Amino acid sequence: MPILYRHYGIVIRFYSDEHDPVHVHAMYQDAVVKVVLHTEKSVVVRIEYIPTQGEFPKAEMKRLKRFIGVFKQKIVMRWVEYFVMKERIKAITINRKLTREDSFN
């Protein structure tokens, strides 16, 4: 179960036996949210947040939505790297305020 990102206590990961559509599991303490990235031609067109365990605190859900908004295309790229190209991926820790420029780096 590779971890993609850590962001202020939120852990975002894939499960190893995943399936389409592209999605990640975001965890904060005991709460888990499945984040589905609906794509058309590899471009994210809609994001769906599905609680699967417990409840994210409102502040953390806001932080998660901001993070996903900035990194959505990178998550799709990492999905392809891991599940299609069978590459290993490393966890990235980002503990700072996000900016628009983060989505380009």
Residue 55 tokens, joined: 């409840």
Question: Residue 15: what pLDDT?
Answer: 86
Q: Is there a domain that residue 102 lies in?
A: no
What residues make up the domain containing 41? Answer: 3-97
Q: Hey, is 73 helix, strand or coil?
A: helix
Q: Is there a domain that residue 22 lies in?
A: yes
Q: Is there a domain that residue 105 lies in?
A: no
Q: Is there a domain that residue 48 lies in?
A: yes
Question: Which pLDDT band, with edges at 50, 70 and 90, does 28 fall under?
Answer: very high
Q: What is the pLDDT of residues 63-83, one digit of tens each?
A: 999 999 999 999 999 999 999
Q: Is there a domain that residue 104 lies in?
A: no
As a whole-number percent, the residues of the chain with pLDDT over 90 amount to 78
C-beta separation of 47 from 72 below 8 A: yes
Pairing of strands 31-40, 43-53: antiparallel
Q: Is there a domain that residue 91 lies in?
A: yes
First-last CA distance in the chain:
25
CA distance 26 to 48: 12
Question: Residue 104: what pLDDT?
Answer: 57
Q: What is the pLDDT of residues 82-99, one digit of tens each?
A: 998 999 999 999 988 887
Q: How many domains does the chain have?
A: 1
